[in-house]
């Protein structure tokens, strides 16, 4: 499944084309027909392919792909995500995560607030290990989604995880002390706003964190990211 999925996402198997037949795939992977069918069924469930009787298995156009699927997200980065894809991913974060932070400021419990400050403390202590920083950062954003009280926000954690890992793979604040300190301070600003239940400041602080990552990852193409336009209720 992974091999065929990677080849579809990379364009090796082009959109709207027919995959090799079952006989060829069975010879290539040396698996049973049952295993092949299950793999193709999984790819069809992700929106990548569609089997048709007497025609074969067609690779669907990208518009049909479930881009929130964890495998499809990871495959994009394994094959080399384009600047356009990275921009789209960051736009989704800008659309969703500031709202999650605003909801967290309105709904958070004391226990959830304590968890957020704990995540920031761990980020501050991760001065030498980029992996530790990424993990603490991820837990921080997941905690924000939990504190929002909206189950859909928690469901986008895979998108956030892939975005964060990609950001730090391309340009990490570790072991740069100045950049590390700035990143920790920006995350703490989110929690401080949530602490005093300042919805608008929490949203603004989250946008600053996401924009900081966008600048590191998309320096040549950052102009493609939209500037924030306040919604009616924010005005």
**pTM of structure:** 0.81
Predicted confidence (pLDDT) per residue in 64-114, tens digit: 999 888 899 889 988 888 888 888 888 888 999 999 999 999 999 999 999
**Where are the alpha helices (H) located in 79-234, listed in sequence order?**
83-107, 110-125, 130-147, 151-155, 157-170, 177-195, 199-217
Q: Distance between CA 94 and CA 227 in Å, rounded?
A: 10
Task: Name the one residue in this structure whose structure tokens are 């006989």.
Answer: 23
Mean pLDDT of the chain: 88
Please, are residues 48 and 99 in contact by the beta-carbon 8 Å criterion?
A: no
Predicted confidence (pLDDT) per residue in 103-151, tens digit: 999 999 999 999 999 999 999 987 767 788 888 888 999 999 999 999 9
Q: How many CB atoms lie under 10 A from the CB of residue 177?
A: 10
N-term to C-term CA, the chain: 48
Q: Of 126-135, 146-155, 168-177, 187-196, which gets the smallest average pLDDT?
A: 168-177
Q: Distance between CA 104 and CA 45 in Å, rounded?
A: 33
Q: Of 26-40, 111-125, 159-173, 201-215, which gets the smallest average pLDDT?
A: 159-173
């Amino acid at each position: 499944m992974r091999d065929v999925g990677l080849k579809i996402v990379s364009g090796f198997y082009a959109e709207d084309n027919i995959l090799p037949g079952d006989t060829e795939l069975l010879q290539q992977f040396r698996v049973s027909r049952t295993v092949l069918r299950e793999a193709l069924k999984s790819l069809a469930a992700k929106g990548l392919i569609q089997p048709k009787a007497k025609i074969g298995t067609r690779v669907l156009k990208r518009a049909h792909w479930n881009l929130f699927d964890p495998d499809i997200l990871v495959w994009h980065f394994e094959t080399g995500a384009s600047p356009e894809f990275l921009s789209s991913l960051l736009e989704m974060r800008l659309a969703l995560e500031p709202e999650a932070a605003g909801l967290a400021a309105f709904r958070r419990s004391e226990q959830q607030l304590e968890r957020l400050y704990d995540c920031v403390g761990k980020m501050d202590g991760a001065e030498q290990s980029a992996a530790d920083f990424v993990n603490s950062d991820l837990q921080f954003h997941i905690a924000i989604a939990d504190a929002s009280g909206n189950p859909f926000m928690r469901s986008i954690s895979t998108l956030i995880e892939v975005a964060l890992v990609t950001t730090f793979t391309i340009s990490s604040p570790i072991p740069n002390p100045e950049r590390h300190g700035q990143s920790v301070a920006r995350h703490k600003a989110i929690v401080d706003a949530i602490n005093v239940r300042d919805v608008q400041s929490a949203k603004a602080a989250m946008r600053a964190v996401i924009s900081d990552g966008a600048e590191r990852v998309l320096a040549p193409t950052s102009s493609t990211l939209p500037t924030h336009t306040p919604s009616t209720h924010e005005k």
